[in-house]
A and B are shown apart, each in its own frame.
Chain A
Amino acid sequence: MLLNFNSLGSWKWALVAITTLTSAFLLLPIVFIAALSFGSSQWLIFPPPSWTLKWYGALFSDPRWLESAWTSLRIALMVTVLSVVIGLFAAFGLVRGRFVGRDGLRALFMTPMILPVVVLAVALYAFFLQIGLAGTTLGFVIAHLVVALPFSILALTGALEGFDKSIEDAAILCGASPLRAKITVTLPCIGHGLFSAAIFSFLTSWDEVVLAIFMSSPTLQTLPVKIWATLRQDLTPVIAAASTMLILVTILLMLLAAAVKKGLKA
């Protein structure tokens, strides 16, 4: 009765109304930002008096915004590669290994995900000040790697647990070396896991704000840090343009992920 949409009676319309309103609430800020980024009003008047591309012009002609976008991309790509490789090795150990404390180790690997990120940010900042990594690209990559790795390990252990190991053993019986069997048989079979590990790692680093604020220096800023610093001064529509670009990247990656998932199922 209550779990059948058509026999809900008047309750059905209440649920539909709440869901519609909530969807509007969730969509509102995103649509609003995109609209403002094309609006001509410096003071973010809505609806905008007229439409313009000048904020995008300002965004793309300012070397500091471009520099920070390039920094974001560079760091996110390094994090992605390291996170997938280290995560892959860890997943092999966690799924195939037989050793005492394996479940404890798995839990340890997941802790950076539940710890408040501000605690990690402050702790790493102090540590990097002492060992000379504060404000460096390497420090940035390490900090993002610590929070991206759990997602990567989660995706890859899941994929590896779903993979029938006897296929790999068969390849070895047919004469392939264990390493060759892994590369040519196992890796292609867990491709979807590798792919989601990569997307999650990339987005974790690309969108991360809190660690980035502590890892940045005046000469090393990712896009979120640049937005954060600008936001503390004023609400200029250039931020709306930058945010719209970030949202666009997210949508493209989500569509890509959905397409790959669909392709794998077909």
Chain B
Amino acid sequence: MVASVETEMPALAPPKRRFVPTGFKPTLPALILVLVFFVLPVAILLTRSVTEPVLGLQNYATLLGSATYLKIFVNTFTVSALVTLFSVMIGFPVAWALAIMPRPSANIVFAIVLLSMWTNLLARTYAWMVLLQRTGVVNKTLMGLGLIDQPLMLVNNLVGVTIGMVYIMLPFTIIPLYGAIRRIDPMILQAAALCGANRRQAFTGVLLPLAMPGIASGALMVFVMSLGYFVTPALLGGTANMMLAELIAQFVQSLVNWGMGGAAALVLLVVTLSLYALQLRLFGTAGERS
């Protein structure tokens, strides 16, 4: 009885053989989709990196041996590291406040965080392109306040990319950090106070260490997501300040060089997956992506 409930279509199911496990068949459509349109294409692309134009590792030698590409790797890692740093430094106090604020105000802040996260990526990036341009609101405000004499160059460089990316990554930092702080028992901090710790001591000695696994896990996730970002760097960075994802797209779209495209994709993939493996090993979770 129960066994027949567990197969999707008992009427059509062939008589069970001994080693056929139960309940596998319903996953087949998803499995076929993932194998044919995910695993296979990625495998083909990566294979092309060692077979085109000729068999060998010359694509990797070019990619890892040239100053032009080295600059792109440096750009990618620098921007990702800065974005991670700023996101955590801004996100931590906000998450902390959210965890202890009175309910109604916390709900408003939460709604703003979610609205920002779910607003179309291009709409948000467009907004920053306009806000940060030479004659944009940011420059005008700073000049109006007398803080600067000349408009700052805020777009078509890595400053623009960093601002735009911090904006996009903040919700992805605030939400997991909020969870991490909510899991801390307030009584532990009460105990620290009773033992005579002042605020600063309680913060550095108790709250921060207790929140550290959450902070590290959130930071790693933001870093990994930033490494592979395409749209925001492409629009706010300009062509002179490329990042890795744009390089992959450029190899394929403008240069039609599948070998180099595949090689760059493999580099990004290896870095991404090893950082996720590290995350799984350290924190036992792949982070909360959305």
Contact = CB atoms under 8 A, between A and B. Distances in A.
B94 A22 contact: yes
Contact of B123 (A8, A15, A33): A33
Interface stretch (A49-57, A58-66, A203-211): A203-211
Nearest to B27: A93
Contacts of A121: 249
Contacts of A228: 122, 231
Contacts of B23: 92-93, 96-99
B203 A30 contact: no
A243 B122 contact: yes
Contacts of B127: 28-30, 32-33, 243
A30 B119 contact: yes
Given A11-B199, A231-B126, A26 B120 contact: no
A123 B113 contact: no
Interface residues of B, number: 101
Contacts of A28: 127, 131
A83 B76 CA distance: 33
Contacts of A178: 4-5, 10
Nearest to A242: B123
A4 B100 CA distance: 6
A264 B193 CA distance: 42
A118 interface: yes
A172 B1 contact: yes
A19 B97 contact: yes
B216 interface: no
Contacts of A33: 123, 126-127
Contacts of A110: 286
B26 A97 contact: yes
Contacts of B207: 2-3
B265 to A, nearest CB: 5
Given A5-B100, A92-B26, A203-B118, A26 B38 contact: no
B128 to A, nearest CB: 6
Main secondary structure of the interface of A (DSSP, over half): helix
Interface residues of A, number: 94
B248 A119 contact: yes
Interface string A228-249: 1001000100011001101100
Interface in A61-79: none
Nearest to B174: A22
A23 interface: yes
Contact of B26 (A93, A142, A239): A93
A110 B285 CA distance: 13
12 contacts: A1-B199, A2-B189, A22-B94, A26-B116, A26-B170, A86-B29, A90-B30, A97-B6, A109-B30, A123-B45, A214-B249, A235-B133
Interface of B: 1-2, 4-6, 8-10, 21-31, 33-34, 37-38, 40-42, 44-45, 48, 90, 93-94, 96-102, 108-109, 112-116, 118-124, 126-131, 133, 135-137, 140, 167, 170-171, 181, 184, 186, 189-190, 192-193, 199, 202-203, 206-207, 224, 227-228, 230-231, 235, 245, 248-249, 252-253, 258, 261, 265, 268-269, 272-273, 276, 286, 289-290
> Which 10 residue pairs of A and B lie closest in terms of their CB atoms, listed nearest first?
A116-B228, A97-B23, A99-B21, A29-B127, A93-B27, A243-B123, A90-B30, A93-B26, A127-B41, A123-B41
Given A93-B27, A224-B120, A224-B122, 10 more contacts: A2-B202, A3-B184, A18-B97, A26-B170, A36-B130, A46-B136, A117-B230, A231-B235, A239-B126, A246-B120
